[in-house]
Amino acid sequence: MVLTSMTPHAAGPAATVSGVNVRRLAAIDMYGTRGTARRRRIILAEFVVGVVAMVGLGLWILIQASDLGGQALGLWFIGAGLNYAPLAVYALVLSRPGALEAELADVDAARELRHYGVLQAWIVVPLALIVFASREALAGSGER
């Protein structure tokens, strides 16, 4: 399915300074193959629960850890969990009526799913999506 739009976010996957467009990652994950309302709610819940659960678990591990390895594991969980924060924010924004469709207009959803399916691996790199989203925001504010 091909969707169409002229929004700044509808540019191709490499349209950001970082090469990972976090907003597009959230959008294509929410849309999936058909863009059902059920999937959108599930993905939004996944992102919100991801932040809370992973950061909470990381804090618990960090507090309980008595050695450097345990502390490093706790910090990893916190950093990886924080990656879900920009995804959750974008998912909330894209949950407004018509927002997701506008974001993905002129987009080949199948191609984007394949591309961003691979880029989702960045979630396991602590704070990576925070950095990418920050770079997007800074690049976007410079265009005004």
* Residue 119 to residue 140: CA distance in whole angstroms: 21
pLDDT digits (tens, 9 = 90+) for 40-86: 999 999 999 999 999 999 999 999 999 999 999 999 999 999 999 99
Domain of residue 70 covers 20-142
Sign of the C-alpha dihedral, residues 12, 14, 35, 117?
Answer: positive
* Within-domain flag for 1: no
* Within-domain flag for 126: yes
Number of domains in the chain: 1
| Residue 142: per-residue pLDDT | 63
| Residue 8: per-residue pLDDT | 40
* Within-domain flag for 5: no
Mean pLDDT of the chain: 87
pLDDT band at 140 (very low <50, low <70, confident <90, very high): confident
Tokens of 5: 């739009």
* Within-domain flag for 15: no
pTM of the model: 0.83
* Within-domain flag for 6: no
* Within-domain flag for 137: yes
Q: How many residues does the chain have?
A: 144
Q: Do 109 and 31 meet the contact criterion of CB atoms below 8 Å apart? A: yes
Mean of pLDDT values over 89-97: 97
Mean of pLDDT values over 82-91: 97
